[in-house]
Structure 1
């Protein structure tokens, strides 16, 4: 177990440059380029930072970060090359490979419903229209106004949460920790309700009494689609715990990790619609595929219109 813990620490250290890049992107999402250091400390594991990042990482990048008060981290220089959300890669692929129009892809998100999830005809049309709805993207700073633009305001919150999860090492985070960034990201909505309203984009587990949100598209059969060294190191520790090869205090140190990863393995694509996260407009079950992208919705809608 000691070797695996050291392996994780080494993976975190070797990924420092990539982690700093993600930290800069988080600061760029904030309204004024600053974030609370305690809030960042709470998500240090999810972001891939070491416990002592304030002393071991931040001083190495004086041209990027500065601590302007005892508890506030400020971005020194904004890198415009980083001002693109991860979802844009998927949109570009949809546009290029499926010959979809920019109108269909510019503001769309990957949607993957659990097995057996049924969308009624009227609800499918609503989802299709929602996918086309313009919104202020995470790195755009034109002012966020909720009055008179509730749907766009909420869609922006979806975009911010999607990007937030994309920047996490394991594409998941306890819901409670997201709340520490709501005001800084101008997404002052009920985060839990937002997650439950979009089950095709997010998945929320409530195992162990902790609500954890996963980015649904990032997982297949309980594993990350694009694993990284830090994730792999933690996965190895999880496997050791699950195999019961050790019964020492060190196992307790990774118990929380084991529970969280086990949730992802057993539930994320288990195909169940149990719990209170399935909103009413998506009620019902059928035998169709659990996934649906922009082109799928086009085909399904056209087929139903012909019925």
Structure 2
């Protein structure tokens, strides 16, 4: 690895860091970051809301019986009853009573929500977005040694990658030279064959990480200098102070050679500091691929198991609070890439995040209703 030092002492220290574990015996405390918590809190109930929206619009009448929404409560991951959920967001959903006697109430989208949906559809259909989504998906597969992942694992990241709701039918068919469906040659708990998405061939032009692009000044035509000690951006919240011995370790750890997440680093001693820097590189790139630069911790660990990292992702999150933040908001744990946010705002807003914030605006927009309207809603 191309890492030059000027003294035998430093060379010895570097070799020691690469081959053995030197992380200090100190507890790295978790400190709440109110800005990043707010960034996570903003999206509360957004995923189930968009899932319900998709279900409603899949109906020929563009309306859905409340009873049908209730039947899909678990699949939609609704936090409360279907009726209460749609009533929570009157700027998105409208409950209507069919004119036929004994008919059950239905739900449809408001004109405002339909307008946002149409604009969102245009974004999803654009060639720029479709190519971007395909490349994000390809890069995710390139993080694996086998260049394939079970469809169930990809589904966990579908929302975070900004993929279309039915990406298998609505995206993959446009990129036959990228992807193919294959079998994992195993069965799930129900005895069904596990299917996977496979990248047909390795793509060198995509095998450049966000860290490497930044180091090259976004000019990917420049030749990458492998083994450079690229340091990860560190952003700690106010009031967070690392113990001196932890800070000293981090400073030395940052000087280690950067190994691309698209290279195979499993030859490294798994408990070495160099292996941990490669692990952090993989986790950093994963979060950078996501349109919101965050995802549920459960998703991270699930993918880590498939990538072969086991507990190494867990240790990376604990050891590097200046790179990753774990929020406990919305009744789950969400891993956030710190450098991607200034306070509670994304530094680079992906077009899909722009559309999602339009929905969030409507979710928080109050609607004035007459007393008679409120009475009819309560009766339902």
Length-normalised TM-score, structure 1? 0.71
Higher gyration radius (CA): 2
Does the alignment pair 1:138 with 2:250?
no
- The 1-side partners of 2:216 and 2:343 are apart by 25
CA distance in 2, matches of 1:159, 1:220: 21
Answer yes or no: is 1:87 the counterpart of 2:211: yes
Map of 2:182 onto structure 1: 68
Matched, 1:213 2:325: no
2: CA distance, partners of 1:246 / 1:197: 49
In 2: Cα distance, 1:213 partner to 1:245 partner: 33
- Written as runs of structure 1 = structure 2, the 5 A alignment for 1:267-282 is none
Residues 88-167 of structure 1 mapped to structure 2, 5 A cutoff: 88-93=212-217, 106-134=229-257, 136-141=259-264, 143-147=266-270, 149-167=271-289
Question: What whole-Å deviation, never above 9, does each CA across 1:53-101 have from its counterpart, x for those lacking one?
Answer: 111111221111111125111111211011111012333459xxxxxxx
**Pair 174,21 (structure 1): closer, same or farther in 2 beyond 3 Å:** same
Aligned residues: 239
Contact 2:228/2:257 (8 A) holds in 1 = no
Name the structure 2 match of 1:40: 154
CA distance in 1, matches of 2:251, 2:321: 15
Q: Does the 8 A contact of 2:226 with 2:258 survive in 1? A: no
Q: Does structure 1 residue 52 correspond to structure 2 residue 166? A: yes
For the aligned residue pairs, the C-alpha RMSD in angstroms reads 2.5
Alpha-carbon separation, structure 1, partners of 2:367 and 2:121: 21
Give 1 or 2: higher helix fraction.
1
Unmatched 5+ stretches in structure 1: 95-101, 248-307
- 1:153-192 matches, cutoff 5 A: 153-189=275-311, 191-192=313-314
| Matching residue of 1:233 | 355
Structure 2, gaps ≥5 residues long = 1-112, 184-193, 219-224, 370-380
1:91–1:108 Cα contact (<8 Å) kept: no
TM-score (norm 2): 0.58
Offset at 1:29? Answer: 1.0
